[in-house]
Amino acid sequence: MAAVQDGPMELDAEKEAKPEILSDGTSNLSGNTASGTLSSSPLTAAPAGGAPKMEDQQTLIAVLQFLKRNKLSESVEILRREAGLGEHQEGSQATDGSGGGKGDGDGGDANSLLSRVSITSAAAPQSMPVKKDQPDVSVVLSAYSQQGDPPLYQVYYSGLKNFIESVLDCHRAELSQLFYPLFVHMYLELVYNNHETEAKAFFDKFSGDQECYYQDDLHILCGLTKKEHLKGNEVLLDFRTSRFVLHISRDSYQLLKRHLQERHNNQIWNIIQEHLYIDIFDGMPRSKSQIDSMSGSLAGEAKREVNKAKVFYGLLKEPEIEVPLDDEDDEAENEEGKPKKKKTKKDSLGSKSKKQDPNAPQQNRIPLPELKDSDKLDKIMYMKESTKRIRLGPENLPSICFYTFLNAFQGLTAVDFTDDSSLLAGGFADSTVRVWSVTPKKLRKVKSAGELNVIEKESDDVLERIMDEKTASESKILHGHSGPVYGVSFSPDRNYLLSSSEDGTVRLWSLQTFTCLVGYKGHNYPVWDTHFSPFGYYFVSGGHDRVARLWATDHYQPLRIFAGHLADVTCTRFHPNSNYVATGSTDRTVRLWDVLNANCVRILTGHKGPIHSLAFSPNGKFLASGSTDGRVLLWDIGHGLMIGELKGHTDTIYALKFSRDGEILASGSMDNTVRLWDSMKAFDEVETDDFTATTGHIHLPDNSQELLLGMYHSKSTPVTHLHFTRRNLLLAAGAYNSQ
């Protein structure tokens, strides 16, 4: 589909989908998937046929009836207006064609709109009553019912291949993007139509041409030879339900179009129109390296307009806290030190509070919990600590402490430190969560209710008295999950711990009583990761059901569902200002979601493998993501641009962390190394001028080696987690692997 798809209908569809999702927490149907489902149609595949007009009308009417039956009167209105069906008669095509059409592809535009409409009619009667979790499979697959001449597929494909290889270099790189999606769709079409041998031959002949970073998908594809298999395969359903997005310059696109029209190559043209979304831009065609850096995700690159939304990446104003200066000052400070410290404190507070960051969201955009006294005390502690922070830089690298888990036969799967580095939590494959105190202070439970009654409430040391000294120990074990614990996260106030598990639940544990407080059910599938908001109260979780959910600790149902990923959500992180959530997925994209309205505001493509780690820079401007291919990508959130690629790791990166001031990025990997990168340099070097900002084309300097400040080996311990203490000491954690 060449032209930009126009919005109203899509919005409409989402409007319909959203309330449904929100009301039904268990539904896996997502807004985007739903609209994706709508966009592919068996009927519009052959617009040449004479029948569609009649059918379209009928289906439209069917939809209207369905909507009426479900008392969705607003939608009925909109649909009527939209389709021009108010007076039950047509003319719809004409209005749409003229209204939505622009550029070259407008021929298909009307079709697409109609096709969506018609498909809704086809899907609705079948899927709604059944209440399936998945987008309706038969509908999706029936997109392939339209048959070409199977043996000719090879001819078509090689014809296109020859053409693309013969065009000018500048266009070749761009048009080569077509190979992979075309290849997959043609292969699936063959499989769907039971041309097994042709499919095999086709695969064998052309699979070698595809980019190496699609190997994983090709692996799945080559095992698939039967129509029946298509039904259960999520990856391929994803491929269907989403349009593969390509960015192609106008010149290249016209070259392609002319070629296909000359050759009357309708088969390929149809696939391009139905399954591909070609985002046309004006200007110079992109180079091969530019394309390669952005491609690799399951559904192609991100459409440009999805990254246009404004993101308030600035930090929130620090709350004003009266810092009790003299009496609280620790004894180490001498007379000279005091006035200095006061000054720095005021500076750090003042600069933030006086100048409101223009990129920061409204202070109350997301309702945040009020600060308790203990939080204020903690903030003061934090400020005190940060005055003693070591300033890191290329010449001043952090010291690294490694926390090694010994005898972790159960299998260490997740680690987290508290912000003040006093507690360490480990999630294990044997369903347990263990908490260690890494300071001499032991972990104690609160006394039982009966004993608490005896305590005098007015005494000064009541907080000390309520603790049961008998229970003091270095570590505590939390039992409750019934599957491996894949994610743990401490609350900022150190009172709670979250854990997410294969059993489909997220659990909230109290670190006062060391018991489970709540089990949040909703994902119903393994929950791969969870993360507390930096202000507490909210947390986010993501799992195998391909959605991320936003929860509040006092609600047993999710507040928001972030749906749109085409595969498992593998990792989740809160933005430092708590207004956004970043998720990484097996579909090889990173998405940024607005907590306020659950909209996806950024789709970041470029990874070539599932993403297993994310980290926001402390100033909220940048995001780092690490994947199984051992590369770290750096993103500018404001522009939605990739601004750096850090190559060096040889295995999955499971841990990423910026130093407290953001000068250093530490990455930890399965390859038993911790690497330190000069993030300041990486951010400084890429100047995002207006051109790159508008086109999204980046020239990445290949400077990983210059940015790599240090590489540190552990003996045989994969690095599972990294944490910078408030004074910028780097803590790493992992389980010793004796094999």
Partner 1 sequence: CQSTFGFIMTEREERRFAEVPRESIKLMAESSGVELSEEVAALLAEDVCYRLREATQNSSQFMRHAKRRKLSVEDLNRALRWSNTETICGYGAQDALPFRPLKEGELFFVEDREINLVELALATNIPKGCAETMVRVHVSYLDGKGNLEPQGTVPTAVQSLSEDLLKYYQQITRAILGEDPHLMKVALLDLQSNSKIAALLPYFVYVISGVKSVSHDLDQLNRLLHMVKSLVQNPYLYLGSYVRSLVSSVMYCILEPLAASINPLNDHWTLRDYAALLLSHIFWTHGDLVSGLYHQILLSLQKVLSDPVRPLCSHYGAVVGLHALGWKAVERVLYPHLPAYWANLQAVLDDYSVSNAQVKADGHKVYGAILVAVERLLKMKALSLTLAAEGSGAGLPGTTTGAVGFRENSPGLSPPPEPLSEPPLGIASHLQAGGAGCPWEEWTPVSLPAMYCELYSFFGDSLAVRFSTGPPLGGATPPGPCQPLEGRKEPASSAPNLENTRKMPQLTASMNISPRRDGSPRSPLSSSSRPGRSTSQSRDIFPKARFPLPQAGPPAFSFIIGGRQMGRRCQGRRFQTSFTPTPPLTTHPPRAYAHKLPVIGRVSKPVRRWTCSHYSLHLPL
Can you give the binding site for partner 1, defined by CB under 8 A?
A: 200, 204, 219-220, 222-226, 228-229, 232-233, 396-413, 424, 426, 428-429, 434, 436, 438, 475, 483-484, 486, 502, 525-526, 528, 544, 568, 570, 586, 610, 612, 628, 651-652, 654, 670, 676, 709-710, 712-715, 718, 720, 732-733, 739
Smallest gap from Cβ 397 to partner 1, in A, equals 2
**687, 639 Cβ separation under 8 angstroms:** no
CB atoms within 10 A of CB 102: 12
The conformational region for residue 411 under phi > 0 = left, psi -120 to 50 = alpha, else beta, is left
- Least distance from C-beta 667 to partner 1, angstroms? 14
Q: Which is closer to partner 1, CB of 222 or CB of 466?
A: 222
Q: Which is nearer to partner 1, 89 or 407 (CB)?
A: 407
Structure tokens at 495: 């009172």
What is the distance between the alpha carbons of residues 395 and 242, in angstroms, rounded to a whole number? 47
* Residue nearer to partner 1 on the CB measure, 170 or 222: 222
**What is the separation of C-alpha 552 from the centre of its chain, rounded to a whole number of angstroms?**
20
Give DSSP secondary structure letters for 191-233.
Answer: HHTT-HHHHHHHHHHHGGGS-GGGHHHHHHHHT--SHHHHHH-
> Residue type for 727, please?
R
CA 310 remoteness from chain centre:
17
Which residue number, 527 or 552, has a Cβ lying nearer to partner 1?
527
Using the minimum distance from each CB to partner 1, give the nearer residue, 526 or 534.
526
Phi-psi region of 426 (alpha: psi -120 to 50; beta: other; left: phi over 0): beta
Interatomic CA distance for residues 243 and 112, integer angstroms = 12
Rounded Cα–Cα distance for residues 496 and 494 (Å): 6
Name the β-bridge partners of 280: 248
Phi, psi of 549 (to 5 degrees): -125, 140
Nearer to partner 1 among residue 599 and residue 737 (C-beta):
737
CA dist list (Å): 29 to 99, 126, 133 = 30, 15, 6
In angstroms, give the least distance from the CB of 233 to partner 1: 7
Nearer to partner 1, 146 or 475 (CB): 475
* Nearest distance in Å: CB 499, partner 1: 13
Phi and psi of 416, rounded to 5°?
-150, 150
Residue 142 vs 413, nearer CB to partner 1: 413
- Give min distance, CB of 484 to partner 1, in A: 6
Nearest to 412 by CA among 201, 660, 719, 169: 719
Residue 2 CB, shortest distance to partner 1, in Å, is 35
Give the distance, in angstroms, between the CA of residue 692 and the centroid of all CA atoms in the same chain: 23
**Shortest gap between Cβ of 250 and partner 1 (angstroms)?**
39
**Distance, CA of 183 to CA of 176 (rounded, Å):** 11
State how beta strands 569-574 and 515-521 pair: unpaired
Q: Is the CB of 200 or the CB of 681 nearer to partner 1?
A: 200
Number of C-beta neighbours around residue 382 at 10 A? 12
> Closest approach of Cβ 646 to partner 1, in Å?
17
Q: Are strands 560-563 and 730-735 parallel, antiparallel or unpaired?
A: unpaired
Given the complex with partner 1, which of 301 and 502 has the nearer CB atom? 502
CB-wise, 298 or 311, nearer to partner 1?
A: 298
Q: Which is nearer to partner 1, 42 or 542 (CB)?
A: 542
Least separation in angstroms between CB 407 and partner 1: 4
What 3-state class would DSSP assign to 738?
coil
Q: How many Å apart are CA 562 and CA 308, to the nearest integer?
A: 18
Q: Which residues contact 251 (CB under 8 A, 6 or more apart)?
A: 171, 285
Whether residue 476 contacts residue 514, with contact meaning beta carbons closer than 8 Å, is answered with yes
Cα–Cα separations (whole angstroms), residue 90 to 78, 87, 112, 244, 551 = 16, 8, 16, 32, 46
Smallest separation (angstroms) from partner 1 to the CB of 479? 14
| Closest C-alpha among 494, 500, 492, 495 to residue 536 | 492
CA angle in degrees (0–180, nearest 5) for 58-62-68:
145
Residue 405 CB, nearest distance to partner 1 (Å)?
6
- Tell me the three-class secondary structure of 115-143, residue by residue: HHHHHHHHHHHHHHHHCCCCCCHHHHHHH
**Residue 400 or 693 having the CB closest to partner 1:** 400
Contact 636, 644 (CB under 8 A): no
Q: How far is the CB of 337 from partner 1 (least distance, A)?
A: 22
Which two three-digit tokens encode residue 501? 């598990």
- Taking the least distance from each CB to partner 1, the nearer of 307 and 585 is 585
CA distance 246 to 375: 48
Nearest CB to partner 1, comparing residues 355 and 713:
713
User: What span, in angstroms and rounded, lies between the C-alpha atoms of 204 and 209?
Assistant: 10
Nearest distance, CB of residue 474 and partner 1, angstroms: 8
**Smallest separation (angstroms) from partner 1 to the CB of 260:** 30
Task: Decide: 487 and 527 in contact? Cβ < 8 Å.
Answer: yes
When the beta carbons of 222 and 371 are compared against partner 1, the nearer one is: 222
In angstroms, give the least distance from the CB of 207 to partner 1.
10
Smallest distance, partner 1 to C-beta of residue 200, A: 7
